[in-house]
Amino acid sequence: MTNYIEYKFKVAEVEPFNEIIIAMISELPFESFVENEEGFDAYMPKTEENIDQVKEVIDAIENIDFSYTRLEIEQQNWNATWEENFAPILVNDQCLIRAEFHETIENIPYEIIIQPKMSFGTGHHSTTHLMVEYILETEFTGKDILDMGCGTSILAILGMKRGANYAECIDIDEWAVENSIENGKRNGVSLDAKMGDNSLLGSKQFDIILANINKNILISQIPSYINVLNEGGDLFLSGLMEQDFEDIFAFCTENGLKFISKKQRNEWIALHFKK
């Protein structure tokens, strides 16, 4: 079981500097950023942490008034940390993402209830928000979908609620896999959750692939996504910053994908390609 490290940032001017700091530390192995009134909290697995590297990157940030503290979160303390930080999210008045202890909102077409334990992907981060927007705009009825780097499997759950036939969810973290299965049951959908990476992809073909990871991992894995994506299938990518666009666009088009559209929220982007 993996313990997590919380870096709690206090930022003098939350807007616009929260997003700027997040952008500058996004190459570090943080799995989630949760913004709040004083700044934001960033989380990474203890096994991925290199304290000297983290300090070097953070110390290189200049001309922004902020401070930070570091705390190791033990597994049994995660639920308390989660409840303290998590607020419900409403995307385009169409999808509510909440915990069981939050009130529901009437007349919202889609509601996802999650309890993330030690896995991340609460919907707060701009990249998840953008991917939810894409799912709400895309036809999922009868489709087989793949959610790579699934975290809490919000994306796969919404895809199933939108009418998908089958959802395979893959993450390198065992907590994410366990939590994905539980969140699927909590939301009345069946998810085929597996621990590992793109090496698990076999002969199964998908109509839609959702991958919200980061630029370097995406570039290393996109060829394997193409191999399992049906002709005419949709590939949605996020975990990307605005400055990543040219590299991802070039790599995908060189590998035969057709660029469809880009979404942006603050400094973050999500991209839609077709095979």
pLDDT tens by residue, 136-191: 999 999 999 999 999 889 999 999 999 999 999 999 878 788 889 999 999 999 99
Highest mean pLDDT pick, 15-19, 76-80, 87-91, 210-214: 210-214
Residue 212 annotated as binding site: yes
State the angle between helix axes of 215-228 and 245-254 in degrees (0 to 180), rounded to the nearest 10: 20
Residue 79 annotated as binding site: no
Cα separations in angstroms, 236 against 73, 125, 175:
32, 16, 24
Which 8-state DSSP code applies to residue 109?
S
Q: Nearest-CA neighbor of 141 among 109, 164, 158?
A: 164
Contact 201, 228 (CB under 8 A): yes
Say if residue 125's pLDDT is above 80: no
Single pTM value for the model: 0.77
Quick one: pLDDT at residue 116?
Answer: 63
Task: Pick one of 3.30.70, 1.20.58, 1.10.3470, 1.10.10 as the CATH number of 3-76.
Answer: 3.30.70
Instruction: Answer yes or no: CATH 3.40.50.300 is held by domain 120-274.
Output: no
Contact 187, 113 (CB under 8 A): yes
Phi, psi of 88 (to 5 degrees): -65, 155
Note the helical H segments in the chain: 14-25, 51-59, 78-85, 126-137, 154-161, 174-186, 215-228, 245-254
Quick one: pLDDT at residue 59?
Answer: 94
Residue 147 annotated as binding site: no
CA distance 183 to 189: 9
Give the pLDDT band of residue 76 (cuts 50, 70, 90): low
Per-residue pLDDT averaged across 185-203, rounded? 94
Q: How many residues does this entry show for the chain? A: 275
Say if residue 53's pLDDT is above 70: yes
Residue 149 annotated as binding site: yes
CA distance 159 to 189: 10
Phi, psi of 61 (to 5 degrees): -80, 120
Q: Provide the residue ranges of all domains of the chain, joining segments of one domain with +.
A: 3-76, 120-274
